[in-house]
Homo-oligomer: A and B are copies of this chain.
């Protein structure tokens, strides 16, 4: 009698095998001569059908306790199933109800629940078909990311979560403090200006939650060549949309001795790899998303896997948009940033496949992106995919000290705050490049889930920090 996961039984179980299974009741059907209980253990979307016969010890009493949500352990013999939905089912020989779930109060009764409602029971929602599938796909996607980089000898580096650098996103930063806020504000350490005196706080200065590990990843790449981060990042952006979280996970590879072309090549290979990996690792879950959530997710994944990405410059993109036979809400002109409508037009109507747009105007991009020979564009890239929009943003970094200092001056960044970042250009500087991928965005696109709050176990958004 061996203990087995349900996905293993459904895929490989043989008739007459004796097994023990543990899990939770999804539904039961009481018939005249026997009953069916559908058991799920989180290993797969599909349930194991368990057949209970009246000869089972204490049959009626046990059956009464086997309500949706109850936990059980059941041992018995696998038999070929007569039902069309499964290959095998389990004929119970002994059964223990481990923990009950009162049907009068358990909120996950068998009926459709809205995702809004499920968010209010974040401690139970992973027990539903959809959220369970999301969590398995999310894990497979994370696994693919590590496998991709580790196979290529990239080191996973843990860049800091708490940072004193606020140069990148002032105004959207969370402050981190260990001051005792149970005190009145006048008992807190204050400056002569009557602001909080962070010199008396834990870190001796105001500290923040990171918005990106890139600058520190550059440090590591300039010692170890190829590295990647995969960790939480934060935005205190007060926007209640279906695509924003205050806390989300980001993947940021950084490669020394790499230019924008190498960056594009790696990013394209990377995206193809993770979509392919997840399709192979979670076929039932992906089919479920295609059937129940968004009937384009499989086609979108295949489109990414099977097409060479188109590559055009921003200047070429603007030309294509200017001659489009349609009007856009946001007018197009060289120098403006591409809006979502522009990106979708290019990817979905012009190229009909994933594309990489490179060499954006310097004035709309960050200070660290490498200035091109033309003196007005930078070696940036965005990857746009049909149905998805922007999925990756990256760049070659400015490795020339003098030009970097000029770009910082133009953007009003104090070089003293980034002395260490500048040192990387003083000592053994090399061309280097990297990109960033919002992990939840990818899981959202992969699954077709409409709201990003439903692809992370415990979403953090304005006014929402439950569980």
Q: Which of A126-176 contact B (CB under 8 A)?
A: 126-127, 131-132, 135-136, 138-139, 142-143, 146, 150, 153, 155-164, 173-176
CA distance A131 to B190 in the complex (A): 39
Select which of B146, B182, B220, B466 is within 8 A of A457 by beta carbon.
B220
Task: Check A207 for interface membership: any CB of B closer than 8 A.
Answer: yes
- Assess whether B126 is in contact with A224, with CB atoms less than 8 Å apart: yes
CA distance A98 to B231 in the complex (A): 31
Minimum C-beta distance from A13 to chain B (A): 16
- Nearest Cβ distance between residue A313 and chain B, in whole angstroms? 26
Nearest CB in chain B: distance from A110 CB, A: 14
Contact with B along A12-28 (1 / 0, CB 8 A): 00000000001111000
Q: Chain A 74-94, CB within 8 Å of chain B: the 1/0 string?
A: 000000000000000000000
Count of this chain's copies in the oligomeric assembly: 2
How many angstroms from the CA of A190 to the CA of B207 in the assembled complex?
22
| Minimal Cβ-Cβ distance residue in B for A161 | B232
Cross-chain contact A181 with B195 (CB below 8 angstroms): yes
Pick from B73, B142, B463: contact of A257, CB under 8 Å: B73
Give min CB distance, A286 to chain B, whole Å.
16
Residue in B24, B138, B236, B427 whose beta carbon sits within 8 Å of that of A99 in the complex: B427
Interface residues of A in 172-211 (CB under 8 A from B): 173-179, 181-186, 188, 190, 193-196, 198, 202-207, 209
A430 and B216 form a contact (CB under 8 A): no
A136: chain B residues at CB < 8 Å are 155, 224
Identify which of A268-276, A347-355, A367-375, A418-426 touches chain B: A418-426
B424 and A123 form a contact (CB under 8 A): yes
Given A423-B123, A458-B160, A465-B164, A70 and B428 touching (CB < 8 A)? Answer: yes
**Nearest chain B CB to A153 CB, angstrom units:** 6
Our pick among B161, B184, B232 for the contact of A158 (Cβ within 8 Å) is: B232
Cα(A466)–Cα(B98), bound, Å: 51
Q: Looking across the interface, which residue of chain B has its beta carbon closest to that of A136? A: B155
Write out the residue numbers on chain B whose beta carbons fall within 8 Å of the beta carbon of A246. 162, 202
A178 to B150, CA, bound (A): 36
Select A428's contact among B24, B216, B234, beta carbons within 8 Å: B24
Chain A window 256-290, contacts with chain B (Cβ cutoff 8 Å), 1 for yes, 0 for no? 11000000000000000000000000000000000
Q: Does A47 contact B (CB under 8 A)?
A: no
Contact partner of A102 (CB less than 8 A), chosen from B24, B25, B426, B464, is B426
Complex-state Cα separation, A106 to B428, whole angstroms = 10
In the complex, what distance in Å separates the CA atom of A207 from the CA atom of B19? Answer: 46
A399 at the interface (CB under 8 A from B): yes
Inter-subunit contact A466/B164 (CB<8 Å): yes
Contacts of A207 in B (CB 8 A): 465
Chain B residues near A159 (CB, 8 Å)? 457-458
A296 contacts partner chain B, Cβ-Cβ < 8 Å:
no
CA distance A203 to B25 in the complex (A): 35
Chain B residue at minimum C-beta to C-beta distance from A140: B155
Nearest CB on B from A143, distance (A): 6
Q: Which residues of B contact A238 (CB under 8 A)?
A: 178, 202
CB of A41 closer than 8 Å to a CB of B: yes
A157 to B467, CA, bound (A): 14
Query: Are B178 and A176 closer than 8 Å at their CB atoms?
Result: no
Q: Which residues of B contact A366 (CB under 8 A)?
A: none
Q: Would you list the 6 A-B pairs with minimal beta carbon distance, nearest first?
A: A42-B224, A99-B429, A126-B223, A178-B236, A123-B420, A185-B185
A43-B224, A142-B156, A143-B146 given; 6 more Cβ-contact pairs under 8 Å: A43-B225, A106-B426, A123-B219, A139-B156, A160-B460, A231-B232
Q: Which residues of A contact B (CB under 8 A)?
A: 5, 22-25, 41-43, 69-71, 73, 98-102, 105-106, 108, 122-124, 126-127, 131-132, 135-136, 138-139, 142-143, 146, 150, 153, 155-164, 173-179, 181-186, 188, 190, 193-196, 198, 202-207, 209, 216, 219-220, 222-225, 231-232, 234, 236, 238, 246-247, 249, 256-257, 399, 420-421, 423-431, 456-458, 460, 462-467
